[in-house]
Amino acid sequence: MATSPVARRLAIAGVCLLSLVLCCGLAWWQWEKFSSANGTFQNLGYVLQWPLFGLFPAFMFWRIRQLRLRAEAAPPQEPEERAKPKPVRLPEPRVSREQPADPEDAELAAYNAYLAELAARDEESRK
């Protein structure tokens, strides 16, 4: 769905204005709580924070627009050639020559020997 730039800007401005009005209302509510008998300084902190929260969407819209304009004004740059990474030489697997006493360890040793054989074949195929 394509919208015109004017409609999009009006929608963003409306959201920014609604955010500011809503957050200023919340700041007023916190001020009333602070002014009451059981108000705390935490309420006063919220009085100062809510307007900042309300201004945040407008700031983000401004910041994104500035970044977009800066990117459009900058000349396009060619991507840099990346150097090929150096191959990493992995250490050779250590194979135990001892026969384990436990039958489960014998299965594990046989499996490790099989993996070592596969690694050796893989190394030979790369040469």
Which whole-number Å values give the CA distances from 82 to 78, 79, 85, 86, in the listed order? 12, 9, 9, 12
Percent above pLDDT 90 for the chain:
41
Asked if residues 51 and 30 have their Cβ atoms less than 8 Å apart, the reply is no
Residue type, 85: P
Residue type, 59: F
pLDDT (tens digit, 9 = 90+) per residue, 103-120?
667 788 888 899 999 999
Q: Which two tokens stand for residue 4?
A: 């015109």
Q: Tell me the pTM.
A: 0.52
pLDDT (tens digit, 9 = 90+) per residue, 58-75?
999 999 999 999 988 888
Which whole-number Å values give the CA distances from 123 to 43, 113, 127, in the listed order? 69, 15, 7
Measure CA of the first residue to CA of the last residue in the chain; give whole Å: 56
